[in-house]
Amino acid sequence: MYPRVKAGQRNFLRGRSSPRRAEPRDSFQFSVIVLSICIFAIYKLLVQLSYFDASFGSARLWGYALIAVYLLGIALCSVISLLCLMPKHLLGYLFAAALLSILNIYRQTP
């Protein structure tokens, strides 16, 4: 007569919320890697801008400050993920820091 429903659907039909699957707390952070590439692009833009015109001489210092703040944030997030036992987050943060360092070494400013 009535179609068969599963237990979770039955609870939902009675007005109770169905149990949801818990999402994993620990996942690889692709957004950190994208942020790392964007920070590097902004840094290179500021450094090139400082070479372009003498009035933008402080742009290079802003670029260095941007990288320093970013690396400090990555270090802080790495320590937090290490203390909270989230190895995939830690791997994402370390990969982003390594990517930023490799890009900085590979693309040296003339």
pTM of the model: 0.60
Q: For residue 19, what pLDDT is reported?
A: 54
pLDDT classification of 22: cutoffs 50, 70, 90: low
Residues 6 or more apart whose Cβ sits within 8 Å of residue 107: 44
Lowest mean pLDDT across 13-22, 45-54, 62-71: 13-22
CA dist., res. 59 & res. 50, Å (int): 5
Calculate the average pLDDT of the chain.
76
Are 13 and 5 within 8 A, CB to CB? Answer: yes
Boundaries of every domain in the chain: 26-106
Is residue 52 pLDDT above 70, yes or no?
yes
Q: For residue 83, what pLDDT is reported?
A: 85
Is residue 8 pLDDT above 60, yes or no?
no
